[in-house]
């Protein structure tokens, strides 16, 4: 006779930027084990694979996970983790005022949101008529570009070219072009025009939350901005 199955609660979240509704559940021990094994390996590729597998297993996003932006992956995983392990993340950090005292902090994960910097846009006008519509890099592309401590110019151009979704002018929208054509397009921009492309990446949405910390040794209170998924856990 098969053993009884326990009921698993389901929740709903609203995706940042798009507003799409996603159903999700907490991860189970089998998925937590997968995550710990990936963490023990200290291999970025294994970590990315584990996080994406957990999102596929724990949400109704069975397809399209590979195309989600980094901040979308982080946001969904944070919500899944909060329901599975606890709404409060507790860890130690170094006090910013003396840069040596270790202090305990608590972060309410439900309050952590994706922040969009003012002025950020996917539609970039490069001159009077010609512009581009960008798309956010996938987690795979973002990790690949950031695995190197010193990304080359080629790395930066490769990432930017892969994120051009459409090119438009006064008469037409171009959405069918090769990666090489996108690279050639970028290489023919002037410095000011390419700076606008760079600004898109520099102002991309990200998980961000500000907490106030207190250093018991110096009696100083400081505001600390936590950004990116790794910042919210020990």
- The predicted-structure confidence for 45-58, as pLDDT tens digits, reads as follows 788 888 889 999 99
With a CB cutoff of 8 Å and minimum separation 6, the contacts of 89 are: 106, 107, 109, 232, 233
43 belongs to a structural domain: yes
Same domain for 76 and 102? Answer: no
> How deeply is 104 buried, as exposed, middle or buried, from its count of CB atoms within 10 A (0-12, 13-18, 19+)?
exposed
CA 4 – CA 16 distance, rounded (Å) = 37
Q: What is the pLDDT of residue 62?
A: 75
226 belongs to a structural domain: yes
Domain count, the chain: 3
Contact 204, 139 (CB under 8 A): no
The predicted model gives 76-96 an average pLDDT of: 91
Same domain for 135 and 179? Answer: yes
**In this structure, what are the phi and psi dihedrals at residue 29, rounded to the nearest 5 degrees?**
-60, -35
DSSP state of 98: T
Same domain for 127 and 168? Answer: yes
What band does 224 get if pLDDT is binned at 50, 70 and 90?
very high
**In this structure, what are the phi and psi dihedrals at residue 106, rounded to the nearest 5 degrees?**
-125, 130
**In this structure, what are the phi and psi dihedrals at residue 120, rounded to the nearest 5 degrees?**
-70, 135
227 belongs to a structural domain: yes
**Stronger pLDDT, 98 or 6, i.e. the higher one:** 98
CATH of residue 41's domain is 3.30.2220.20
Structure tokens at 16: 């940042």
1 belongs to a structural domain: no
Q: Which of 37, 70, 86 is the last residue of a domain?
A: 86
CA 55 – CA 80 distance, rounded (Å) = 8
What band does 100 get if pLDDT is binned at 50, 70 and 90?
very high
Torsion 161-164-170-174 (CA) sign: positive
2 belongs to a structural domain: no
Q: What is the pLDDT of residue 126?
A: 96
Residue 61 lies in domain: 7-86
């Amino acid at each position: 006779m098969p053993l009884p199955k326990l009921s698993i609660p389901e929740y709903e979240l609203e995706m940042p930027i798009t507003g799409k509704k996603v159903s999700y559940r907490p991860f189970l021990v089998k998925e937590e084990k997968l995550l710990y094994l990936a963490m023990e390996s200290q291999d970025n590729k294994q970590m990315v694979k584990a996080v994406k597998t957990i999102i596929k297993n724990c949400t109704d996003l069975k397809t399209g996970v590979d195309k989600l932006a980094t901040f979308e992956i982080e946001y969904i995983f944070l919500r899944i983790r909060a329901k599975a392990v606890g709404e409060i993340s507790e860890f130690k950090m170094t006090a910013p005022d003396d840069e040596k005292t270790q202090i305990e902090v608590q972060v309410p994960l439900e309050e952590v949101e994706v922040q969009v910097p003012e002025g950020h846009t996917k539609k970039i006008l490069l001159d009077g008529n010609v512009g581009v519509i960008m798309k956010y890099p996938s987690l795979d592309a973002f990790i690949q570009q950031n695995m190197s401590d010193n990304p080359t110019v080629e790395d930066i151009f490769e990432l930017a070219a892969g994120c051009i979704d459409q090119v438009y002018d006064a008469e037409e929208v171009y959405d069918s072009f090769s990666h090489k054509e996108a690279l050639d397009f970028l290489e023919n921009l002037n410095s000011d025009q390419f700076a606008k492309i760079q600004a898109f990446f520099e102002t991309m949405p990200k998980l961000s939350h500000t907490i106030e910390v207190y250093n018991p040794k110096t009696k100083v209170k400081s505001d600390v901005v936590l950004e990116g998924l790794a910042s919210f856990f020990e």
